Structure 1
Amino acid sequence: MKLKLSLLWLIVIQISFAQQRTCGMEQKMQQIMNDPIARQQYLQQQAQFEVELQKMATLSRNSNAVNNVQTIRIPVAVHYPSAGAVTESVKTCLRALAQNQINILNADYNATNADIVNFTENDASFYPGISVGNLGVQFELATENHPAGTGLTNGQVAVTFGTDFLSGADSDPTWAGYMNMVVRNEGSSILGYSPLGGSPASGHTVVINRFAFGSGSGCAGFVPAAPFNLGRTLTHELGHFFNLDHTFNNGTCSTNTNCNTQGDRVCDTPEVASESYECPEVGTVGSCSFEQFALTMNYMDYVDDACMYMFTLGQENRMRAYYNAIVSQFSTTALSNNEVLDNNFKIYPNPSKGSFTIEFKELTNSYAVEVYDITGKVIYDNNFELTSSLVQTINLENTGSGVYFVNIKTDNGLLITKKIVME
């Protein structure tokens, strides 16, 4: 009887633990700091970051310089190590799931996610002086000049199945220069992890548990599970990769009054001692100062996916400074040349009243069209196989007005993404 009760108690603990956000960043950093070579590389990269952060402080005094910063394009590779033996239909589903997750990232990192209105229309009153961050980034599945030996050809998206990052590895020099994302089974207690300041040159990766990747119905073996089924785990872990720490201090309040050197070292995220879980009501969790509320809806806290929706301006500046420090590590040939691809087809009219036409320059036997909104939600997805027409009309007359994105994909993946406005 005691054995049965003990087993039951263990199951209850595991189930309840899995319902709270957990991040393995700190354990990953312990591994790095215990490795002399990795530690030295990490410290050198952090020193470069501090130089860039000072430059950002100077830029912030010149609003024109900040506003003229160009959009960041980052080549992404997604790896499913356990999916080597799955069918082609499952692989197609997993490619779509990868794109779904990237759509979510682009919305979250550019403050175009639908729930950001919670702050701009209501919650901001609890946080005077705090502004929403917008990194101005475009994450894109890489499509060109893939590493030798991966079996991928130009035009195919950088999504692998059972071929890389095996045996639980967190880096792979084969994929140096990419923003690597690995989706695998990490048990029931860890949602994901990343280095605090990752290195694309070393092939570092962000690891996400297979039940916390993307949104929607998912694919066989990779089904997003509530309350972590909106893709925000990767938003959180990728923040670590770009050198953002948690907004909480692991149970203590600092005695140092310099917000640039204490806590998460971001001055517009109120210092808090402990993480928040589930979905606390805005303005109910205090901070260390007792004069501010905890910014519980920040992506770098531990609340559920549905209750985190923003970065701050200070976090934006910190991530951009880190990007500036590592930009030379990203591949410059992995992303498609949009100007070349634009010559292969056109979309019109744009703006549209609810339907638009895709016209190809040359016949394309099979392709897929996917349309998604600024939240990453797919509103149209259709495959056109063995077509002999150069034009295809897409009818979205029941779609609301706003900005949407159109993915044109071959059987092997994404060719190009275009923005379209519905009036």
Structure 2
Amino acid sequence: MLLKKISLNIIFIGLALMISAQNKMPEPCGTDSIHQHLLNTDPEYASRRQKINEKILDWEKNNIEYGRGNVLTIPVVVHVLYNAQSENISDAQIHSQITALNRDYRMLNADISQVPNEFKSLIADVEIEFCLADTDPNGNATSGITRKYTSSSYLGSSNSYYYSSQGGQTAWDRDKYLNFWVCNISGGILAYAYFPGAGSAYDGIVVDSKYFGTIGSVQYPYNKGRTAVHEVGHWLNLPHIWGSSVGCSTDDGVADTPDSYDSYFGCPSYPQYSCGTSDMFMNYMDYANDACTFMYSLGQKQRMRSAIFSYRSGLLTSGGCASGGNTGGGPGSGTGGQGNINCNLTPLPFVEDFEGVVFPPQGFSINNPDNAFTWERNTQAGYNSTASAYIDNANYSSNGESDELIMPLFDISSATQLSISFDYAYKLWSVSGYSDTLEVLISNNCSNNYQSIWKTYGQNLVTTNPYYITSSWTPSGNSDWNQVSLNLTPYLSGDTLSIKFRNITDYENNLYLDNINVDFAIPTAIEDKKTDNEWKKFALFLYGGKIYE
């Protein structure tokens, strides 16, 4: 055991060096390098791989129609291992990854329409779904998420991630759960996985926290959850689409994926040719950006399902999602249950004034789809303070971009009435008809299926006089702020409540948010600072002397 542990440490230490030495872009996936090292150094692994692969291929050949039409569910546990607070990703970010897996493995992704016509007949609904476990190996209720602080800055670059005594987290039974370890990985590697046949202690997938999920801390261009989609393919016995090495002499062994000379990066234009055929670079098992991979093939579907039936069949009777689990929710979320047991809840009442130096605050997360300007902490302005959350719309050069500040998930099981109040400040840049938007949305379903309950823009968003300034604006005092109070009682239909603030850009000015208060009190009407006469003056100014009643 000691020799094997040392051997694995050697490959982890050398992995980044091996990758950077190649005469091409760094490999974002470390699976091939680790797999090849194990083949070269562990005769038992090489023997197991050969036997398991033969078994899977034999099953694939003799059971082509077996199980088709039946959706297979894989229980998932996510071990969050963090050294910096930014690596301690939110539950919402984890749920977004489960949603992404279900979206892509069930062929529910909207961008499936971008698959070229020559490959459309090969697109597969893999009929595999994923649920965050609701039952742990001891039969106890769980959220399917574990969290642990580690003193190691790059835990994912060593084998310590699966040793509890070394700051990692021991794997749950690999025959019953898919283990994800989410932590920091060095050397430009996004993630790596182990093929069937790996040791039980580390059989699973390791993903850097910056590439796990679709919201929060994820980074472009791997921000659509497809790093994990790719690695699950390896875990279910799929090689890279070009095979184990560069050239036309090897491929992935899947009949309906064309031979490809090498990997693709970025967003290649279609078509691209090598090895005498058009390359399927938009396949999840290539290296193109998340926004440019859209599909698995029918042959890959058969390979992955065969791996489950012939080697990972314990997943099918696991009991890890005994109560239905949590499939992430939202579009393309699959059909599994949405048990509230999977939500880590925050008690009420709740106040956030952004006075703490950590941003986003504990329990909050940020959805920043374009990885440009987004919500951040401002230390120059606040209501009755000098701190607030704000978004720099003044320098945001895109129109129609949404950035969301997502609050913790609240326990409302005992609430009979509820309200939210907050202060905000905003001033236009111009009077040309543009205006940014502020919106409040809520969900009763573990941060899924949000509905809008309040939205304002234009003259109704402005909080001060004069109404515009042709420069980046900062509130100068309390008179520049408005307060909004909303009755949440009509939305107490479940046991949980999630609230998020959405900013939508429109080339205008900075928006500030402060003093969010979620309370059991019934809200009273908040009188707006502006009189009707002031609003009419503003309307006259905006619309050329016309008032639209």
TM over 0.5: yes
> Could you tell me which residue of structure 1 aligns to residue 333 of structure 2?
none
Post-superposition CA distance 1:256-289 (Å, at most 9, x none): xxxxxx5101111110111111101121x10312
Q: What displacement does 1:115 show? A: 0.9
C-alpha distance in 2 between matches for 1:127 and 1:156: 39
C-alpha distance in 1 between matches for 2:404 and 2:73: 22
Counterparts of 1:3-402 in structure 2, within 5 Å, are 22-33=28-39, 34-57=41-64, 59=65, 67-68=68-69, 70-83=70-83, 93-119=89-115, 123-124=116-117, 126-127=118-119, 130-146=121-137, 153-162=140-149, 168-169=159-160, 174-177=171-174, 178-197=177-196, 201-216=200-215, 218=216, 223-249=217-243, 250-254=245-249, 262-283=250-271, 285-289=272-276, 292-330=277-315, 332-338=318-324, 383-388=409-414, 396=451
C-alpha distance in 1 between matches for 2:299 and 2:188: 30
Q: What displacement does 1:205 show? A: 1.6
Q: What displacement does 1:138 show? A: 1.5
What is the DSSP-based 3-state SS (H/G/I as helix, E as strand, rest coil) of the residue aligned with 1:81?
A: strand
What is the DSSP-based 3-state SS (H/G/I as helix, E as strand, rest coil) of the residue aligned with 2:278?
A: coil
C-alpha distance in 2 between matches for 1:408 and 1:71: 29
> Could you tell me which residue of structure 1 aligns to residue 166 of structure 2?
none
Post-superposition CA distance 1:357-379 (Å, at most 9, x none): x99xxxx99699xxxxxxxx999
| Counterpart residue identity of residue 277, structure 1 | F
- Does structure 2 retain, via aligned residues, the 8 Å contact 1:198–1:243? no
C-alpha distance in 2 between matches for 1:27 and 1:101: 25
Runs of 5+ consecutive residues of structure 2 not aligned to the other structure: 1-18, 164-169, 327-338, 349-362, 364-402, 419-442, 445-449, 454-492, 499-549
What is the DSSP-based 3-state SS (H/G/I as helix, E as strand, rest coil) of the residue aligned with 2:210?
A: coil
C-alpha distance in 1 between matches for 2:220 and 2:270: 21
Distance of aligned partners of 1:380 and 1:94 in 2 relative to their CA distance in 1, 3 Å threshold: closer
What is the DSSP-based 3-state SS (H/G/I as helix, E as strand, rest coil) of the residue aligned with 1:111?
A: coil
Provide the aligned length of Structure 1 versus Structure 2.
Answer: 331
Post-superposition CA distance 1:154-176 (Å, at most 9, x none): 14323332489885346576412
Runs of 5+ consecutive residues of structure 1 not aligned to the other structure: 1-12, 60-64, 255-261, 342-357, 369-376, 399-405, 412-423
| Higher radius of gyration, 1 or 2 | 2
Q: What displacement does 1:306 show? A: 0.8
Q: What displacement does 1:212 show? A: 1.5
- Does structure 2 retain, via aligned residues, the 8 Å contact 1:144–1:154? yes
Distance of aligned partners of 1:54 and 1:100 in 2 relative to their CA distance in 1, 3 Å threshold: same
Post-superposition CA distance 1:109-135 (Å, at most 9, x none): 11101211212xxx22x437x411111
Q: CA RMSD in A?
A: 4.3
Q: What displacement does 1:50 show? A: 2.2
C-alpha distance in 2 between matches for 1:204 and 1:244: 15
| Counterpart residue identity of residue 251, structure 2 | G
Q: What displacement does 1:39 show? A: 2.8
| TM-score (structure 1 length as normaliser) | 0.66
C-alpha distance in 2 between matches for 1:147 and 1:94: 25
Identity %: 25
- Does structure 2 retain, via aligned residues, the 8 Å contact 1:268–1:314? yes
What is the DSSP-based 3-state SS (H/G/I as helix, E as strand, rest coil) of the residue aligned with 2:78?
A: strand
What is the DSSP-based 3-state SS (H/G/I as helix, E as strand, rest coil) of the residue aligned with 1:181?
A: strand
Distance of aligned partners of 1:74 and 1:176 in 2 relative to their CA distance in 1, 3 Å threshold: same
> Could you tell me which residue of structure 2 aligns to residue 355 of structure 1?
none
| Counterpart residue identity of residue 110, structure 1 | R
- Does structure 1 retain, via aligned residues, the 8 Å contact 2:411–2:496? no
C-alpha distance in 2 between matches for 1:320 and 1:79: 25
Q: What displacement does 1:242 show? A: 0.7
Distance of aligned partners of 1:187 and 1:114 in 2 relative to their CA distance in 1, 3 Å threshold: same
C-alpha distance in 1 between matches for 2:112 and 2:186: 31
Distance of aligned partners of 1:408 and 1:336 in 2 relative to their CA distance in 1, 3 Å threshold: farther
> Could you tell me which residue of structure 1 aligns to residue 516 of structure 2?
none
Distance of aligned partners of 1:202 and 1:133 in 2 relative to their CA distance in 1, 3 Å threshold: farther
What is the DSSP-based 3-state SS (H/G/I as helix, E as strand, rest coil) of the residue aligned with 2:114?
A: helix
> Could you tell me which residue of structure 2 aligns to residue 9 of structure 1?
none
What is the DSSP-based 3-state SS (H/G/I as helix, E as strand, rest coil) of the residue aligned with 2:180?
A: strand
What is the DSSP-based 3-state SS (H/G/I as helix, E as strand, rest coil) of the residue aligned with 2:301?
A: helix
| Counterpart residue identity of residue 127, structure 2 | G
Distance of aligned partners of 1:56 and 1:202 in 2 relative to their CA distance in 1, 3 Å threshold: farther
- Does structure 2 retain, via aligned residues, the 8 Å contact 1:213–1:224? yes
| TM-score (structure 2 length as normaliser) | 0.52
C-alpha distance in 1 between matches for 2:260 and 2:188: 24
- Does structure 2 retain, via aligned residues, the 8 Å contact 1:127–1:293? no
C-alpha distance in 2 between matches for 1:407 and 1:101: 23
| Counterpart residue identity of residue 38, structure 2 | I
Q: What displacement does 1:302 show? A: 1.0
What is the DSSP-based 3-state SS (H/G/I as helix, E as strand, rest coil) of the residue aligned with 1:319?
A: helix
| Counterpart residue identity of residue 264, structure 1 | D
C-alpha distance in 1 between matches for 2:405 and 2:128: 23
Q: What displacement does 1:86 show? A: 5.2
Distance of aligned partners of 1:206 and 1:272 in 2 relative to their CA distance in 1, 3 Å threshold: same
C-alpha distance in 2 between matches for 1:309 and 1:327: 26
Q: What displacement does 1:43 show? A: 2.8
- Does structure 1 retain, via aligned residues, the 8 Å contact 2:171–2:201? no
- Does structure 2 retain, via aligned residues, the 8 Å contact 1:170–1:204? no
Q: What displacement does 1:381 show? A: 7.7
Q: What displacement does 1:54 show? A: 1.7
